[in-house]
Amino acid sequence: MAPDSRPPLSRAQIDSTLARLVGLFGFVFALLSIPVLNDSASTLWPGWAWAVTLAVFGSIGVAFVCSLIMRGVRVSMGVLACVFVVMLVLWPLAVRSPAAAVGTDPWLWYIVIVAIAAAGISFSTFWASAYTVAVPCIYAVLRVLPSGGGVSWGLALLDAVYILLLGTFVVIVITALRSTASQVDEAQRTAVRRYADAAKRHAAEQERIRVDTVIHDRVLSSLLAASRSRTADDRELAVQMARRALVALQSADAESEGSADLPLSVLVDRSRSLAETLTAEIAFSADGDLDGVVPARVIEGLYSATVQAIVNSIQHAGDDADRTISVHGRVAADLNGAAVDTATMDGDLPAVTVVVADTGAGFDVDAVPPDRLGVRISIRERVDAVGGATEIRSLPGAGTTIVITWPAPNDGEASS
């Protein structure tokens, strides 16, 4: 399923949605109050009637437009809220004859919730709450006055409580949505920071593993070759290996994900050269389909693991052990005749298996300490880092076989 392309919930989206809703409903409520305004026009002074109408309807219209274009929303909503309060206070001056206004409702009643909602959009929570309490109180006083209808205090308080309850609900909804959106934004920022930190740590760990591998594989094999050199040719080979190790250390940064693809024949040639370079007698073979190309990092990872495997064999298997390095394309067979089928693996890239085996002393795989770099980092983690899998088969006195497969088998079995 494709990922959801909608942007995540955020404070900015909530603010824009609330502003447009308040602007739209304010405009609609203003239109609905026009018939009431026409009915009460005879009780108002013409000048004041036009002033009140233009001020209230004008501020509502400006707030509506600002909410659509999302420019100046807080200012326009704040102006609307303030204009409404001013009109409530000045309403007695707009009435032509208080006696004629007795029994009528000020048409401002129909947009009082719009003004409170505008205050909720523009003001902070504290001032929006104060506004929500102040407006019903002002309206209750106006309703008791003859110019506001001259009703009893009971009816005026009933209207005020209605405005207070509805206004409180509107402000609570606005505040709750904003608070939730802010928490979502903060959680998202925290998650991004944590992900970035984890990515940095992972990159640093991968770099450490890569550098450790280069040092452990190249340098150690060079030192091993130097320690076993007996003739001038052996010493010359040791010098060449040391130079290669220095070059590898200096160009470690070049061995990265962005390297170009290389043919599998490069792995074959390097593995054959390794078998011929080391002083120990190592048999080499290659078979199967090895004509494809793979990322350079894969070649480097498989070769480095092969180097470490054969170095471990030279160090621990004993001088009399027979050693072999074999590279197989598509299908590889282990020493016991069991087939490792890599032809059924996913993807269009060729599959390759490298088998390093000896008939030496062997060891207990389960007893290897986790801090041994040769097995954990230079072999297993190096292969895992390029998408391959490693299987180590060994028993005390029965030799050792290390099977390096790329890409990893589909069943995802952990290497033993």
What was the pLDDT predicted at 6?
A: 44
List the chain pLDDT tens, one digit each, 416 residues: 344 444 445 778 888 888 888 888 888 888 877 777 776 767 777 777 788 888 888 898 899 899 888 889 999 999 999 999 998 888 888 887 777 677 777 888 888 989 999 999 999 999 999 999 999 999 999 888 888 788 889 888 998 999 999 999 999 999 998 888 888 888 877 877 787 677 667 666 666 666 666 565 556 666 666 666 666 666 666 666 666 665 555 445 444 444 567 788 888 888 888 787 776 788 888 888 887 888 888 888 888 888 878 877 877 777 778 889 999 886 433 333 333 443 334 445 678 899 998 888 787 777 666 555 455 556 777 788 788 888 888 888 888 888 988 887 765 444 44
For residue 8, say if its preceding peptide bond is cis, omega within 30 degrees of 0.
no
What was the pLDDT predicted at 93?
A: 82
What was the pLDDT predicted at 293?
A: 83
Q: Which domains does the chain have, with CATH numbers?
A: 11-191 (no CATH), 262-406 (3.30.565.10)
Terminal CA-to-CA distance of the chain, rounded, Å? 35
What was the pLDDT predicted at 28?
A: 86
Question: With helix as H, strand as E and coil as C, how does the chain read?
Answer: CCCCCCCCCCHHHHHHHHHHHHHHHHHHHHHHCHHHHHHHHHHECHHHHHHHHHHHHHHHHHHHHHHHHCCCHHHHHHHHHHHHHHHHHHHHHHECCHHHHCCCCCHHHHHHHHHHHHHHHHCCHHHHHHHHHHHHHHHHHHHHCHHHCCCCHHHHHHHHHHHHHHHHHHHHHHHHHHHHHHHHHHHHHHHHHHHHHHHHHHHHHHHHHHHHHHHHHHHHHHHHHHHCCCCHHHHHHHHHHHHHHHHHHHCHHHCCCCCCEEEHHHHHHHHHHHHHHCCCCEEEEEECCCCCEEEHHHHHHHHHHHHHHHHHHHHHCCCCCCEEEEEEECEEECCCCCEEECCCCCCCCCCEEEEEEECCCCCCHHHCCCCCHHHHHHHHHHHHHCCCEEEEEECCCCCEEEEEEECCCCCCCCCC
Q: Residue 146's closest CA among 106, 119, 193? A: 106
Q: Residue 408's closest CA among 349, 336, 366, 358? A: 349
pTM recorded for the entire structure: 0.49
Cβ proximity of 258 and 297 under 8 Å? no
Please report how the helices 296-316 and 264-277 are oriented relative to each other, as an axis angle in degrees rounded to 10: 20
What was the pLDDT predicted at 376?
A: 55
Distance between CA atoms of residues 63 and 23, nearest Å: 6
Measured in degrees and rounded to the nearest 5, phi and psi for residue 78 equal -65, -40
What was the pLDDT predicted at 134?
A: 94
Cβ proximity of 91 and 148 under 8 Å? yes
